Amino acid sequence: MATSTFTLFPKLPPELRNRIWQDALPQRFVFCHELLDPIQLEVPFLLVNSEARGIALTWIQEQGLKRSSHKDRRIPIFLRLFDPKNDTLYISLDTFKQFASEPSGAHETSDGVITYVLPTFTRIAMPEALFSIPYEYTTLSYVFRFYLNLEQAFIIIGARSSLQPDNSLNVPRRWELQDIQAPMLFWNYDSGLFEWRDTVDGSKEPFDPVLERACEWLNEWLIFHGKEHFEVRSAFAVRK
């Protein structure tokens, strides 16, 4: 009679047993931005006139938008998926630790069995309140262990702890980053240090310590991975 137990497995050579265990593991870990919640967009041009409607419909098709099933609204609502090339991923206070540590089990092993595929987005945003917590995991160095392709980090001034949906569609509304005319921290690859840019007479802005706190211990990771470009700046999030 057939049995589901392979009683001879413990007697196999250790190298073969290890290989069998490894082959049973997932081979690749991928950050699937397609699974992120879509954002909500209103397109009032559809209701102006035929000329505006034609242009709006062409734009909607080019953007790959999908109309919401809620047809009882006066202004048509469309949903758009996250665009890693143009959008900024917002990491809330509640989800930061999970986001930063989630790939920890997906790095490449010594024999190359498990690999972690870098996500394609290059910009993230976080609330300033995150960097008032005195723990190492609330710095960008904690994120940079796995998200090595990041180029920009925005610290959102006065942000709500979580930009969650507050509408009947239960999907996030569109938020835009509004840059602040304030100093930014720019990574100098040659010197291996962060430098302030756009300062006025070397004076300090009230939120400069927040940016400095965000960059604690980050130099070592940037040097280790040979990162040439990275910047940290403050911004406001404006709902559209």
State pLDDT tens for residues 98-138.
888 776 555 545 555 556 667 788 999 988 888 887 776 77
Backbone φ and ψ for 53, nearest 5 degrees, come out as: -65, -40
Percent of the chain with pLDDT over 70: 70
Residues 182-186: contacts with CB under 8 Å, at least 24 apart: 182/207, 182/233, 182/234, 183/208, 183/211, 184/211, 184/231, 184/232, 184/233, 184/234, 185/211, 185/212, 185/215, 185/231, 185/232, 185/233, 186/230, 186/231
The answer on pLDDT for 27 being more than 90 is no
Q: What is the pLDDT of residue 194?
A: 92
| Distance of alpha carbon 116 from alpha carbon 152, whole angstroms | 21
Q: What is the pLDDT of residue 76?
A: 77
Q: What is the pLDDT of residue 63?
A: 79
Q: What is the pLDDT of residue 1?
A: 45
The least confident of 29-43, 81-95, 99-113 is 99-113
Name the band, by pLDDT with cuts 50, 70 and 90, for residue 169. Answer: very low
Query: Hey, where are the domains in the chain?
Result: 84-239
Average pLDDT over residues 69-80: 71
Residue that wins the pLDDT comparison between 64 and 167: 64
Tens of pLDDT, residues 50-61? 888 888 888 888
The least confident of 3-7, 39-43, 169-173, 210-214 is 169-173
Type of residue found at 63: Q
> Average pLDDT over the chain, rounded to whole?
76
Average pLDDT over residues 157-165: 61
